[in-house]
Structure 1
């Protein structure tokens, strides 16, 4: 009797933990009228494919995007646009409905007698269109391409690729190949192996040619495209048109006869294939797999999305429910690139649309986005990935970690070539092959200027941002229990760079490698892009201190005794944190001294986030609060726009009212039809570092962690009722309901972690 009771109790408990929350369905986005243009599109995706879906004048349109579509110029190109037309034109009537169904991961469009379901296979890169109609109708499916001929890039259009500016030679976006083959449309772009590309040019201009043959090159032979096919469909010729300032040509398939059921498949493939035939064979393998798994693919995909939503959630009742709705919607956008080879780009991810609807000054093709495609900005990218720890999306961190692992050897070669010492030199604006963006590096520089340096007032000496990704790697060991041995050489190489480089600089400018207290002389350094030519920068000190402490705190088996001694010695050499005063209030300083203010970040609060040296439940909280309230730069730069992190700072400092106000602003509906297509902020639309920073701030309002301590509701207003499930270190999940500022129905798993929970 007792045994049966315990079994039933376990089943009930397990179901409560894993049951998909019913509130999720209320967050589905529903439109009851068509869209004016692509700016009123809806995201849909899975695996590493993103679609912008909209219905315009009864036509169903969607852009095709996939991770890794980098051309010769490291521009991230779209894979084309689809246009679907039913002869009965059911989606032009008054009963139109378009719905993003979060629990399923797909989009459903209904009207008249027809229903169209659009979904992406999470486990095989295939887009599916399933159409049912009560009355027999005909379908035309057109693939539209605007890359019809080699296109000369001019003016501000350069800002979409890694050249960024006009060069002494012509820069072209090369044309695609599109054709009918066996009742299918096949399309692809293959990077020309016989033409100098951005990798070749960057290596040459940055003086790395002597080691080029051993460098990682993700541009050479990169080939991307796909095919469109459908049952009982045949080619029906070409058409031409003009959409949002761009000419296009279409390749059309039409149904052989009228039918009530249609099924389309669009397979996509991206690879650095040795030959075009190899790439085509691999694409056919994708399609063969789609056939073999056609009975199970939809079920597996929907189960994946169900599990995704079961991992974590935040729901707020009442008038502020928009905050939690947009939290889930943006997390959905991130989930669409869960398994990409390349990380989600901060400047639009997979969901950019025609640029003139973001800024009328950029009337270019749908491929355009500011800040490029293959170039990564660490300060922005980190905000996209930090929230994945508390949301439990650990599998989604891999692509960002792999980005750095792939580029590690190239970054180490930089140190060898330029300075003849060890360690990986990662700059702030780097290409997907690990070298500085050539435009930010700046070719025109004074004679004798250090060839390893970016001759750039914003980016000079900005190397410490890589440690935030080191921190995420270390955090996955605590949060997920992941074996992170793969990442240890990377973390150690980043630390080695600072150890050897700043001893070298000290001996270059003086006679001693360390100061009178045996500490590093961190000069010249920088505090983010803002406080320049610093001595003992707060961001550098924080990054080195926490990375070393966390490395040394790893469980036995990660480091041998020699490694432990080496890193303990380095930790002992980190200088103390600098402070200053305003109106008699002690505050954190961005550095001991600096020469100028270049940007508008607030690095003096980075010891609060991301480094967690100051915060709720930690010593000297008042110093950090003083910094937030009284430092003139911190006050001046405060806002919610884009990558601004003030909602995170306020939450970590326990400033509830400020956190609420900033979080409301962060999560307000965007100016576009889809609520979380924020931007452009400082970057582009959709602004993914806007969404990521908003997520982090909301998570920190609910739960903060300090090693094993878990603080609940440290900056949560009493009038917000709701429920949440979040992840904490040591493979812990916290699930609870909140009412009138109190926790109810608290479930801590595993139960033995309940003793570490502190309700503030």
Structure 2
């Protein structure tokens, strides 16, 4: 029987976790300032609040004139196709309805208590998930008796064959040959007596097919199939309620519809013809609905139902409320970060002295060919309604919006004071005054009003010629550099908007030979960017979560992301980077994805590059229990990974694929469906077929946890065995040169450099950093044979590649490599983070800074980790700029401020959230062995109250006021001597 993860051994010993993370003291009072409060109901799941207990997660929202609704998810609800699915949805209906339009309403996420409280009219509701059991509680009271009905929303009502874009959410099984049908079964729903029970059961699994396809079927005994016979679902009960099956109504058994659209019109799946409900026998003033959830591989559905009944009996309402509040209060007391002074900061773009160019770039290229009839610049971010007004007229009209207009031209003549370069005419065409671009462009002299370093809007009527390639509309930067802004049609028939280092685009949307009204908006306060065509919003990035004023955007982002990580981070599997367990209807994020809530972009697999961020960000907070699911999964797949290394490459030890299924294999498309003429070790995916550093970074993460906990059992049972197998792979897989050094080849430098790579930097710095730290462990804590092996491997580890140009040293992506870039990750920065060979207080700091400054991709969102690199290197201004960008990345369609992304991944983007925590942590505290660097990259104009964890069971607490560190408290006191201010 699989028990809820929080109730079983979490790899780190329970005594260690308790001694390090609990206290009778309360978390700081500042926490209440970051409760999320909404004073109006929501339209759909885009207005949901996330809540959970580490294994079970809910998205909770209230519909105006509707009901209390929530989706239920778990970290281990794997389908037959290896998709991580929702358990289902629940709708709580009250009669008379307290959520009537215009009625008083308040919904509050109470962080300290771990619950959501809702007040509407005379009704009070509380929703929480038991911190110690996978049980959901909905408790209500009312001054007047209410009729209460709670309905199960189940959209998996028949066998579902996955095809096309929907099959893409099974990364493991997508794009296979036509004879392989990928399907999922219908859910089973039972309503009898006083309970509604439902489950999804997998009577078949994609694991055997996958093992056979990858030549691993003879090792099937080494694989614990997480899919076959897995049964997941729940049981809904309430005292004084009866279960019944009623006719479906109001979309009760369908996923959320978009605003103004019925569930039946979503184009995904037809709703069922019934609903299973619990109904109060009579109107009540108080009620308590309890939903027990469970996921396990069992011999039969009956065995699963018996386990579920035991779970349901373990969570009494009043006791669960008290225990849950106590758990969350102790959690918030583990550590904290509260910032003051950042709220007034906006995301400023670089200023430059370039003229404003219309129709060409700084070198005279990217020429616009066609006609423009109006071009306007506003010194503020226009609203959606204002953009509609601008587009409502016709080319040549006076702009319908005047407020905030800086400059505007209707092109009846050459703009006053501007320079016309090349072939360009100002003429009338079809009754419209236009600038006819025949290869020329307009240059408006630089002026302070055109600096546009803060919020602005660009709008124009354009008619590009047929066959026109990517061409500038507005341009004020150096071509190829991020020192200003541009708005163009690159690569043709498209819209692209670049502000500083940030680029966004929508392809194939313009109509050549026709008039197109185009708008680009930059909101410096919310760090939002929007693109419009003919008054319609095409794409928006950032700019969300601004509904509720907050004392500090940085603090709010930190607190709410930590909340989300804890709500999903203690489960049977690691946090999914692409939405965690808080995904909702995908069309609310991307209107093209009209699937049910089981869909997510990038599907089921665990990319190490992405999975790592929630775990790394938990360490400095003292949230070691949130690292445990990562360690557990990689420990569980170690046997099959060892067998694969031997079969594929004749090597001992183990390596972990960059993109790995929950059971340790490659995804089948990545491995390659077509195996004709290929050996078992020939992996098709060029993005990481020869990427090896994953295991080294896993060991580094384990070392970080051990250095803080000093947990001897974790060291002996988990860390040393993992390090042994990871290092044995390198020892036996690669040849040595004449001097005895390993030659890491074939290899690649992460996803960026694929060809002719030797001794890639991530692997080399990983070997050096991990071996140094292993050898620093006390001799009496590790086996002598392992230490002897580490000494051997240290001698064989290749040196970190360093180059010097014009007197400046830096780290390249590899010792040797073809410079063609195939992705935007910077492998050379692995020397800074995560392996921390170059950082404040370490040798070669200047080389680290030069490496950072030379990085090929400069990106502040998603899985890009420039922020913590800047902080580690003591680059305060850069780290500050990075964090201010990151905390404004909320999706504008969503109410909850920590719904990041989707960026490269999906929403909420847990890579991005993890990087927010990591950047801020490293700005405050960096450690190197026993040394504790406090405030290595902290802005002098920001105040701070913090408590973070350091090695040797140490906490560091302090305040910054007016640029000075005050009230520094180091526990234990003996560690004060190791603090470097």
Q: TM-score, normalised by structure 1?
A: 0.93
Aligned to 1:753: 975
SS of aligned partner of 1:323: helix
Aligned to 1:548: 771
User: What's the CA shift for 1:562?
Assistant: 2.4
SS of aligned partner of 1:110: strand
* CA–CA separation in structure 2 for the residues paired with 1:276 and 1:722: 53
1:698 aligns with 2:708: no
Worse-superposed segment, 340-349 or 451-460: 451-460
Cα contact 1:520–1:573 (8 A) shared by 2: yes
Cα contact 1:639–1:662 (8 A) shared by 2: no
1:518 aligns with 2:740: yes
Unpaired segments ≥5 residues, structure 2: 1-20, 258-265, 344-551
* CA–CA separation in structure 2 for the residues paired with 1:562 and 1:492: 10
Which residue of 602, 607, 624 corresponds with 1:394?
624
* CA–CA separation in structure 2 for the residues paired with 1:521 and 1:643: 29
Cα contact 1:737–1:743 (8 A) shared by 2: yes
SS of aligned partner of 1:278: helix
Deviations 1:172-215 (A, max 9, x none): 121110120222111001111xx3x2211110110111222332
Cα contact 2:655–2:694 (8 A) shared by 1: no
Cα contact 2:233–2:293 (8 A) shared by 1: yes
Worse-superposed segment, 219-228 or 683-692: 219-228
* CA–CA separation in structure 2 for the residues paired with 1:414 and 1:532: 22
* CA–CA separation in structure 2 for the residues paired with 1:166 and 1:82: 35
Which residue of 206, 209, 231 corresponds with 2:239?
231
Worse-superposed segment, 15-24 or 115-124: 15-24
User: What's the CA shift for 1:490?
Assistant: 1.7
* CA–CA separation in structure 1 for the residues paired with 2:958 and 2:22: 15
Max Rg structure: 2
Aligned to 2:716: 485
Aligned to 1:297: 320
User: What's the CA shift for 1:467?
Assistant: 1.7
Aligned to 2:952: 730
Aligned to 1:174: 185
Cα contact 2:762–2:827 (8 A) shared by 1: yes
1:187 aligns with 2:216: no
User: What's the CA shift for 1:452?
Assistant: 2.1
Aligned to 1:6: none
SS of aligned partner of 1:138: strand
User: What's the CA shift for 1:625?
Assistant: 0.6
Cα 1:582–1:139 shift into 2, 3 Å: farther
Worse-superposed segment, 554-563 or 80-89: 554-563
Which residue of 150, 162, 182 corresponds with 2:159?
150
User: What's the CA shift for 1:558?
Assistant: 3.6
Cα contact 2:716–2:782 (8 A) shared by 1: no
* CA–CA separation in structure 1 for the residues paired with 2:951 and 2:341: 31
SS of aligned partner of 1:248: coil
Worse-superposed segment, 645-654 or 666-675: 666-675
Aligned to 1:365: 596
User: What's the CA shift for 1:657?
Assistant: 0.6
Worse-superposed segment, 710-719 or 314-323: 314-323
User: What's the CA shift for 1:384?
Assistant: 1.4
SS of aligned partner of 1:229: strand
Query: Pairwise CA RMSD of aligned residues?
Result: 1.7
Alignment of 1:249-328 (within 5 A): 249=272, 250-290=275-315, 293-320=316-343, 321-328=552-559
SS of aligned partner of 2:215: coil
Cα contact 1:457–1:598 (8 A) shared by 2: no
User: What's the CA shift for 1:555?
Assistant: 2.3
Cα contact 1:589–1:604 (8 A) shared by 2: yes
1:346 aligns with 2:566: no
Deviations 1:389-421 (A, max 9, x none): 100001121111000010000101102222333
1:602 aligns with 2:627: no
Aligned to 1:665: 885
* CA–CA separation in structure 2 for the residues paired with 1:289 and 1:252: 23
Aligned to 2:51: 44
Aligned to 2:30: 23
Which residue of 560, 579, 584 corresponds with 2:783?
560
* CA–CA separation in structure 2 for the residues paired with 1:546 and 1:17: 38
SS of aligned partner of 2:956: strand
Cα 1:457–1:384 shift into 2, 3 Å: same
Cα contact 2:617–2:918 (8 A) shared by 1: yes
Which residue of 735, 739, 749 corresponds with 2:961?
739
1:640 aligns with 2:640: no
SS of aligned partner of 1:717: coil
Deviations 1:232-260 (A, max 9, x none): 11134333335432433431221110111
* CA–CA separation in structure 1 for the residues paired with 2:299 and 2:697: 35
Aligned to 2:841: 617
* CA–CA separation in structure 1 for the residues paired with 2:164 and 2:905: 18
Cα contact 2:696–2:763 (8 A) shared by 1: no
Aligned to 2:40: 33
Deviations 1:568-625 (A, max 9, x none): 0111011111123455532110101113322110110111000010010111111111
Aligned to 2:398: none
Aligned to 2:128: 119
Cα contact 2:191–2:244 (8 A) shared by 1: no
4+ aligned runs moved over 4 Å, structure 1? 14-17, 581-584
Cα contact 2:288–2:317 (8 A) shared by 1: no
Cα contact 1:84–1:139 (8 A) shared by 2: yes
1:355 aligns with 2:586: yes
Q: TM-score, normalised by structure 2?
A: 0.72
Cα 1:294–1:171 shift into 2, 3 Å: same
Deviations 1:633-677 (A, max 9, x none): x1x411211011111111111111110011011111512211111
Cα contact 1:68–1:76 (8 A) shared by 2: yes
Cα 1:649–1:715 shift into 2, 3 Å: same
* CA–CA separation in structure 1 for the residues paired with 2:22 and 2:962: 26
Cα 1:378–1:15 shift into 2, 3 Å: closer
User: What's the CA shift for 1:166?
Assistant: 4.4
Alignment of 1:206-217 (within 5 A): 206-217=214-225
Aligned to 2:562: 331
The number of residues matched between the two structures is: 725
SS of aligned partner of 1:348: coil
Please state which structure has a larger fraction of its residues in helix.
Answer: 1
Which residue of 169, 174, 178 corresponds with 1:164?
174
1:438 aligns with 2:668: yes
SS of aligned partner of 2:815: coil
SS of aligned partner of 2:691: coil
Deviations 1:13-57 (A, max 9, x none): x99993310010010000111111111111011141110011113
Aligned to 1:470: 699
* CA–CA separation in structure 2 for the residues paired with 1:746 and 1:64: 43
Cα contact 2:670–2:685 (8 A) shared by 1: yes
Cα contact 2:22–2:331 (8 A) shared by 1: no
Aligned to 1:686: 908
Alignment of 1:405-420 (within 5 A): 405-420=635-650
Cα contact 2:860–2:866 (8 A) shared by 1: yes
Cα contact 1:678–1:685 (8 A) shared by 2: yes
* CA–CA separation in structure 1 for the residues paired with 2:679 and 2:914: 35
SS of aligned partner of 1:697: helix
Aligned to 1:585: 808
Which residue of 53, 56, 60 corresponds with 1:53?
60
Cα 1:562–1:318 shift into 2, 3 Å: closer
Deviations 1:453-481 (A, max 9, x none): 42111012112112211111112211112
Cα contact 2:655–2:695 (8 A) shared by 1: no
